[in-house]
Structure formats: C-alpha cells, structure tokens
C-alpha cells in the first residue's frame, strides 16, 4: 500500500502522455511532439569540452560538498551581478541545486508543516501544487487572468484569510502564459509578502528566453527579507538534462534549506559543476544567438495558431506560445486530441496547468523549423479534409 502522502498525487501529465505517444509511434503514427519544453539545441561547445576534459581526470569522481564547489557559487554570484544587477555573497546566499525543480521540493519540505497553506498560480507549473501536497501542505490556487495581465490580484488576495499561508509561488516570465516579468508589479508582490509574512518563492528559469533584460526579485530593496529565488541552466544554456540549478536567498534561508537538502543527496558531480562555471561565463552573443533561433521558431508557431483560429499575444516570452482556442471547442483537451489523432501532432492542453487554462493550448518552441513546417502541413491537410467532408 502506498504512503498517504501520494493520495491525490497523480503521475505527471507529460509522463503519461509520452507513453501514449510512444505507443502511437509504435503503431507507425510518427507523432510530432510540440508539447514538452526540453531544449533541442546543444550547450555551447566549450561547455561540453569542459565536461569531457574534467570527467577524464581520475581524481575528480568522489563525493562533493552539499553547497557546491566555491568556483560554482562564485560563478553564480558573478552571473547574477552581470545580468540581474544583484550582488550575492557566494559563501552564504547561493545554494547550487540539481535542477530548480529539486529546489521547489526542498523549499516545501523545509517550511511547510501539515495543514500549512501555500498560494499557487492558476494556471501554473503543476509541480508547485504537487510539492506542496507531498510536504503535507494545502495548495490554495490564486487565479491569473488575461484581464489582469496574468498577474495575481493582490487586493483580492489580501481580503482572504491568509493566516495559514506560509509560501507563495510566483514565476515571471510566466509559464505557461508567457507573461513577461513586470518591473512595476514585482515590488508590489514583495510588499504583499512582507505585509502578510509570507515567504515568496520566485521560480525564474525563463528570464533569458526572448527577453531583452532579465529581472530578479532580489534586485529590489528589502526583498531578501521575504524572497527565495530559484534559477536554472536548463533553458538559458540548453542544459536541461544536466540538472544544474540554484537557490538564492538570505543566509538564514540558505542554512534552513540546506538542513533538508543535505539529507537528500551527496553533492553534484564535480565535472558538471566545473562545466557549469564555463556556461555561466558565456558572453552576450550566446544569449542573443539562442533568442534569434527562438524568435524565428515563434513566428512559425504563430502561423500554426493562425491556421487553428487561435488568438494569442505576440509579445509573450519564454520557451512556449500560449493561445486561446476558438469558441466551438469545449476546452483545450478537445482541440489537442483532434490534432493529435487527426494530424499526428501533439499540442499541450492548457487545462493541465489549472482550471484557468482550460480554454488554452500551449506549443513548445523546442524543435527545428522543419518540424514546425511539417506540423503546419499536417494540420492544413486535416483542415482541408474536414472542409471537404
């Protein structure tokens, strides 16, 4: 019998869907998966070479410290100073992680007792709610709507009973909606957290993708009193499978999270850490080059969405495109299934991100241009067939 903590926790949607797609492919369907945001581009060649060179060292394969090597913490600190205008103490305010997803769980396990509440965006990354529940907490949704620029209504939240709320998750640039970080909104949510004595967890892995100026909550005065920020090299450096992330916060928060983390792993493989140092020192052209590719792909996705008569904001950022479906579909699942089974193309239904996503779909920008052109041709063929029936 499974533990009670897994009651109400379902298998991650993409885990289930990938198995279904695998089955369809075995049947000869050749499904084009435009759903999952796993970067298809490689890391910088110098980063790969650094990993290879370091891994060849026979004296580098032992256990590592729980806080990461000093060189990695220093590289993260310089990265934050250079790009986010934030000065962090590498010895006390940075904790390297095996991916920022790990950090979400660590934060929940560190701060939530049974029955404590955490505010979760709807729509939002499903792992927030799952991690809260696994830690024994209660996930309380706060609605995000296009009318409010996909930002929480802080006045409405302030009128609720927040006495049991210990954490609030936010994520800008926002996934799945692509809402950019808003320099005028961020200090307001920091003040909201301070007023209500809530620890604000900012999940910030998309800040370089199709944005001109990355933002951090830690840039604002007084933010370290209430903010924990998670970041990652998965999207910004095409290193998703490497599992390299970080947590930035005040020294006391780092020590608190470390009490849990140190009981969960035995440190990150040193060659990975040294390769991450190389990645964190890449120059402006690296990010600009990645964004030129994503911009062209986004234009192709817009063409697909136009064929589907979906509406969307052309100013959204990040690794996905979020679009509202036509009125005649009951929800995003209906449109997604129609395209999957009729055109052998998988698009993510927005409902997996919460009820506020029911009338949306999401398309990933992870795939070369020929992939999107092929998907467009298949969908056009499906639509032509429907028009002629």
Give me the pLDDT at residue 346, please: 94
Mean pLDDT of 251-278: 96
Mean pLDDT of 60-87: 96
Model pTM? 0.94
Burial (CB count <10 Å: 0-12, 13-18, 19+), residue 191: middle
* Integer angstrom CA distances of residue 170 from 108, 230, 241: 14, 10, 24
CB 88 within 8 A of CB 228: no
Give me the pLDDT at residue 9, please: 66
Mean pLDDT of 264-292: 96
Give me the pLDDT at residue 272, please: 98
pLDDT-derived band at 24 (thresholds 50, 70, 90) equals confident
Instruction: Flag whether pLDDT at 249 surpasses 70.
Output: yes
Dihedral (C-alpha) 212, 218, 220, 226: value to the nearest 10 degrees? 140
Contacts of 324 by beta carbon, 8 Å cutoff, 6+ apart: 146, 310, 311, 312, 359, 360
Give me the pLDDT at residue 389, please: 65
Q: Do domains 4-43+285-383 and 61-281 have the same CATH topology?
A: no
Domain over 61-281 is classified CATH 1.20.140.10: no
Domain boundaries, the chain: 4-43+285-383, 61-281
How high does pLDDT run on average in the chain? Answer: 94
**Bridge pairing between strands 94-97 and 227-232:** unpaired
What is the tens place of the pLDDT at every residue in 111-163?
A: 999 999 999 999 999 999 999 999 999 999 999 999 999 999 999 999 999 99
| Among the listed residues 4, 3, 8, 13, the one whose alpha carbon sits nearest the alpha carbon of residue 126 | 13
Mean pLDDT of 374-383: 94
pLDDT-derived band at 212 (thresholds 50, 70, 90) equals confident
Q: Which residue has the higher pLDDT, 212 or 68?
A: 68
Class of domain 4-43+285-383: alpha beta
Instruction: Flag whether pLDDT at 7 surpasses 90.
Output: no
Mean pLDDT of 247-275: 96
Share of the chain above pLDDT 70, in %: 98
């Amino acid at each position: 019998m499974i533990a009670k903590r897994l009651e109400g926790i379902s298998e991650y949607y993409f885990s289930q869907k990938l198995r279904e797609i695998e089955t369809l492919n075995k049947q000869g369907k050749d499904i084009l998966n435009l759903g999952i945001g796993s970067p298809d581009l490689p890391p910088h060649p110098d980063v790969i070479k650094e990993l290879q060179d370091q891994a060849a060292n026979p004296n580098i394969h032992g256990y590592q410290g729980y806080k990461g090597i000093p060189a990695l913490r220093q590289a993260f600190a310089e990265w934050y100073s250079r790009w986010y205008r934030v000065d962090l103490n590498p010895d006390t305010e940075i904790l390297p992680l095996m991916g920022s997803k790990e950090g979400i769980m660590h934060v929940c396990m560190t701060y939530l007792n049974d029955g404590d509440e955490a505010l979760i965006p709807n729509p939002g990354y499903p792992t927030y709610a799952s991690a809260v529940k696994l830690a024994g907490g209660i996930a309380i949704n706060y609605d995000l709507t296009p009318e409010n620029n996909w930002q929480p209504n802080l006045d409405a939240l302030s009128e609720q009973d927040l006495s049991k709320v210990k954490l609030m998750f936010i994520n800008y640039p926002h996934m799945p909606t692509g809402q950019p970080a808003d320099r005028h909104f961020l200090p307001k949510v920091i003040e909201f957290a301070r007023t209500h004595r809530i620890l604000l967890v900012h999940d910030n892995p998309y800040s370089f993708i199709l944005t001109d100026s990355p933002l951090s909550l830690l840039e604002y005065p007084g933010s370290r009193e209430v903010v924990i920020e998670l970041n990652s090299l998965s999207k910004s450096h095409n290193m998703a499978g490497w599992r390299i992330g970080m947590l930035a916060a005040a020294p006391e928060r780092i020590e608190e999270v470390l009490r849990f983390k140190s009981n969960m792993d035995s440190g990150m493989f040193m060659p990975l850490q040294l390769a991450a140092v190389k990645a964190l020192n890449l120059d402006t052209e690296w990010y600009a080059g990645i964004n030129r590719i994503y911009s062209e792909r986004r234009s192709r996705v817009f063409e697909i969405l136009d064929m589907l008569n979906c509406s969307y904001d052309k100013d959204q950022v990040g690794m996905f495109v979020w679009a509202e479906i036509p009125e005649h579909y009951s929800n995003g699942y209906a449109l997604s299934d129609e395209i999957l089974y009729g055109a052998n193309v998988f698009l993510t239904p927005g409902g997996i991100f919460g009820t506020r996503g029911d009338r949306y779909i999401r398309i990933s920008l992870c795939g070369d241009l020929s992939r999107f052109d092929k998907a467009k041709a298949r969908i056009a063929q499906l639509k032509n067939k429907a028009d002629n029936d």
